[in-house]
Amino acid sequence: MAAKGRRLSGKVALITGASGGQGLAGGRLFAREGATVVLADIEELAGRKLAAEITDAGGSAVFMPLDVGSEGAWKHVIDTIMKEYGGLHCLVNNAGVVSRSGIMQVSSDEWERVHKVNLDGPLYGMRAAAPAIRASGGGAIVNISSTAGLIAHAGAAYCSSKWALRGLTKTAALEFADWGIRVNSVHPGQVIDTRIADGATAAYRNITTLMTPMGRGAQSEEIAQVVLFLCSDEASYINGAEIPVDAGYCSIGLPRLRQKLIHDEETRAAPQP
């Protein structure tokens, strides 16, 4: 596997939701940068296929089945990592599910399922992994939230879980600072090559693209590059931060759309030659 910068050389990294999308891109990228990557997911076939692909290309990766909503499963995975590799330096809480139901429509089962994965999973993960990272000399945790954790979103369960994860990240940064563990959250905009994006309607995807200043959705590797940076020593002074990776969607998306609509309105109102 071709080395790029080897920014994670000698480090052991655990990535959840690693069988596809952003987790898959992160696994490949972390391995290229020298990490021993533990790919965790409930989808074993795709996860084992990715681990084999990385290994065949000269990287170091292993798949471990993990239901992030099970605290016992987390303990088993962390114990196995420490036994097999003798350390853990990075945790990426990437596993997530989406719900597009509003307050009046979301069922109790759907509410609980979304929060179990998106919020309980990172809680259990940090609780299990932080002592191991501390014992390994410190490191980094990155929680994958969403722009839905920064602004309003129509999906009640998804939005609330991602806002809560944003707050949980700051509590973790506060609690683990003395352990030499940095904890940050990443807030992707629309990422085109993920199951979450595939589940949206064409109209939703098209309008979101229209409101995105760069006029396109992100590639998974563009998100993974930011996660890599936060896990590397290059980000040694970044802690408790929330980083949008959204092409300016949250900060300038609405003013940009307003400019476009004003231009279109003025063009229609202008006298025709």
**Residues forming the active site:** 158
Buried b (16+ CB within 10 A) or exposed e, 90-126: bbbbbbbbbbbbeeeebeeebbeebbbbbbbbbbbbb
Phi, psi (degrees; rounded to nearest 5) at 205:
-65, -40
CB 151 within 8 A of CB 187: no
In angstroms, the CA 83 to CA 251 distance is 45
Fill in the DSSP letter of residue 148. G
Residue from 125, 124, 111, 113 nearest 13 by CA: 125
In angstroms, the CA 127 to CA 125 distance is 5
Instruction: For residue 127, count other CB atoms closer than 10 A to its CB.
Output: 14
